[in-house]
A and B are shown apart, each in its own frame.
Chain A
Amino acid sequence: MNFELETASVPGDTLRRVAIDPVSRVEGHGKVTILLDEHNKVHQVRLHIVEFRGFERFIQGRPYWEVPVMVQRLCGICPVSHHLAASKALDLIVGASRVTPTADKMRRLMHYGQILQSHALHFFHLSSPDLLFGFDSEVGRRNIVGVAEKYPDIARKGILLRKYGQEVIRLTAGKRVHGTGAVPGGVNRSLTVDERKELLKDAYQMISWSRDAVRIIKELHQQNPALYDHFGTFRSSFMGMVAPDGSLDLYHGVLRARDADGRILFDQVDYQTYDRLITEEVKPWSYMKFPYFTAMGPENGWYKVGPLARVQNCDSIPTPFAEHERREFVAYAGGKPLHATLAYHWARMIEMLFAAETIKELLQDDDLSGTELMTSGERRREGVGVIEAPRGTLFHHYQVGDDDLVTMANLIVSTTNNNQAMNSAVREVAKQYLDGNEITEGLLNHIEVAIRAYDPCLSCATHALGKMPLEVTLIDAEGAELDRKFKA
């Protein structure tokens, strides 16, 4: 159904395609176009995201050993995810199909530090204002400042959780920004016992605050199921990486996907073969590709990734508190996958708790202070690295020539994997809240809330002052612009 509506140019369809010229694409950092049919009902929604242009061009031609550092420039929000995904892909280039235990655990610690700080930022800063004050509350209150004013303890926890995650990153990556900790074949540092002790001192507090965060979002969800279960809800398949035993693992594992009813579509797939599973479709109105499971075709094969997919894709979570919360989540869903857009927040907090617990366990592992940092083997020309980044599955695929220069790079970032899903969520919201031919403040607010649930990398490219508007445009069946609203 969604696909039919998405594909506007069917015979007899009166909907006009709206061409988006390159200039407007460059300028639109969060651009939503709502296209109406001849009955003024929502026909299609297009979420335009432009920041991913040029990633491959940025990387190709570079020496492979530069890549784990330079790819951090692709995203200011999750540079560590790119750093690690690139390193994993390039491990294979240097023949390190299995890195040392110290390298593996240092990278894991870095990754879970990233998950913790990113999820904390999203919940406490990005989504809690919407959730605590309500979607229709005064816009000026729906931000972290409003939360800090009314719920200073929550805001403070959010900031300190994020700070802690960044300290984990700083110690494992060498620097908080532009870290170099992971290199093809391993890592270039390990932790001292004192560094581990220092981090461990606060780890229990982070677990406690993460448990509090799960409780907050769980209660919000349970108190208002009519809203939380139905807002922007749509059914789809979902995909993520799991450990070989089926448990949640955000750093390494195999690919697994389920259909909308939770049935396994594929499992135990080596991600080196991802390009046999997934096709990236290009659409004329968007720079961002639309991936789908090749075997199912573009109409039925699109999927969602990220916390909501991962928490429901795995069989268990290997830390006790997070596993307890996962079971409660599954019980709430009633044994079937929960497809509610707002359930992303709940799942995200379960993952934050998982990250906090994992950090604590890793810090107690003496391998983190080991001295065997690097390994190598027979040189290869091609490698794929996959990681479950905060926003979802992240693919890095490289080919490297004999001259050590990258000859081919293909990246599927988390937001791209969620592209169709985000369009579907916004479309459902627009259908529900669009009234007449005007973009109301309420509609704008609700579109924001739907997009925020996915936490897309809308603004990960450029953060210059004055460069981050949300723009929503309403187009009628004849292609005429009915309304346009900006949110600076």
Chain B
Amino acid sequence: MSAVAKADGAPAQRHDGPRPGSGSEAVVPAPLLVFGWGNPSRGDDALGPLFVDAVEAMKLPAVECLTDFQLQVEHALDLRGRRRVLFVDASSTAQPPFELQPIAAARDASFTTHAVSPQSILQVFEDIEGRPAPPCWLLAIRGESWELGTPPCASAHANLRAALAAFTTWLPTPRL
């Protein structure tokens, strides 16, 4: 699986999401879910999918990687059966190179819920499932440029490398 988007912004290969129900009844889910989202053809918005591609290339045991254009309500079902979850997205506001922090279920009041916050996903999970969500972290990788058809900028790539390095440290002992 390619971990690098084509430099001209053309589609890079990514793996697919899960089958519906794969979070529980279909197969036993991997304990750790790494879920990155974003549009690979929108400049630094590709950071989430690129992170997921890179983690997938590590072929880590007990880790499942999922990606999508955007985070949506149904992704709450992907939290079923996990011991922990790492959400990964590009951010226009995070301190560079990235921010990594645990998150808790919360209601958000997004103007357009075409995309929702990971905190909101946790809240949906808890309301639908009637039990607490697994421990979740949010890795927000700083991006700068979001133009259609452009590759991630140099600083975004540097931030991505720093985030991946931090991930390998976080993996065995998750902490801030």
Contact = CB atoms under 8 A, between A and B. Distances in A.
Contact of B69 (A76, A141, A164, A452): A76
A310 to B, nearest CB: 21
Nearest to A176: B17
B163 to A, nearest CB: 14
Interface string B99-137: 000000001111111111100100110011000000000
B45 A464 contact: yes
B68 interface: yes
A329 B128 CA distance: 32
Nearest to B93: A466
30 contacts: A30-B111, A53-B148, A54-B147, A70-B10, A74-B148, A76-B115, A125-B72, A126-B112, A144-B113, A145-B107, A145-B127, A146-B107, A148-B124, A155-B127, A159-B76, A162-B74, A163-B20, A170-B16, A176-B68, A177-B69, A178-B14, A178-B16, A458-B114, A461-B148, A462-B39, A462-B42, A463-B114, A464-B38, A464-B90, A465-B94
Contacts of A155: 124, 127-128
Contacts of A145: 107-108, 120, 123-124, 127
Given A465-B92, A467-B92, A178 B124 contact: no
A465 B127 contact: no
Interface residues of A, number: 64
Contacts of B174: none
Given A164-B20, A463-B115, A464-B92, 12 more contacts: A73-B148, A141-B107, A143-B113, A148-B124, A156-B128, A159-B74, A163-B74, A170-B19, A462-B146, A463-B89, A464-B44, A465-B91
B4 interface: no
Given A162-B74, A163-B20, A77 B11 contact: no
Contacts of B111: 30, 448, 468-470, 487-488
Interface in A161-211: 162-164, 166-167, 170, 175-178
Interface in A96-155: 121, 124-126, 139-146, 148-149, 152, 155
Contacts of A124: 73
Contacts of B68: 176-177
A481 to B, nearest CB: 20
A159 B68 CA distance: 16
A351 B45 CA distance: 32
Contact of B20 (A158, A166, A175): A166
B120 A143 contact: yes
Contacts of A156: 128
Contact of B112 (A26, A162, A464, A468): A468
Interface string B14-48: 10110111000000000000000111111111010
Give 8 closest A-B pairs by Cβ, nearest first: A76-B69, A148-B127, A466-B93, A470-B111, A73-B41, A465-B91, A175-B16, A464-B90
Q: How large is the interface on B (under 10, 10 to 19, 20 to 34, 35 or more residues)?
A: 35 or more
A79 interface: yes
**Interface residues of B: mostly helix, strand, loop or mixed?**
loop
Contacts of A139: 109
Contact of A70 (B41, B72, B117): B41
A55 interface: yes
B70 interface: yes
Contact of B124 (A30, A144, A467, A488): A144
A140 to B, nearest CB: 5
A58 B149 contact: yes
A177 B16 CA distance: 6
Contacts of A55: 148
B86 interface: no
A463 B37 contact: yes
Interface string B59-92: 0000000011111111011000000000001111
A245 interface: no
B160 interface: no
Given A57-B149, A148-B123, A176-B17, A463 B74 contact: no
Nearest to A164: B20
Nearest to A142: B109
A30 B115 CA distance: 14
Contact of B17 (A66, A140, A177): A177
Contacts of A487: 109, 111
A159 B77 contact: yes
Most chain B CB within 10 A, of A162, A166, A465, is at: A465
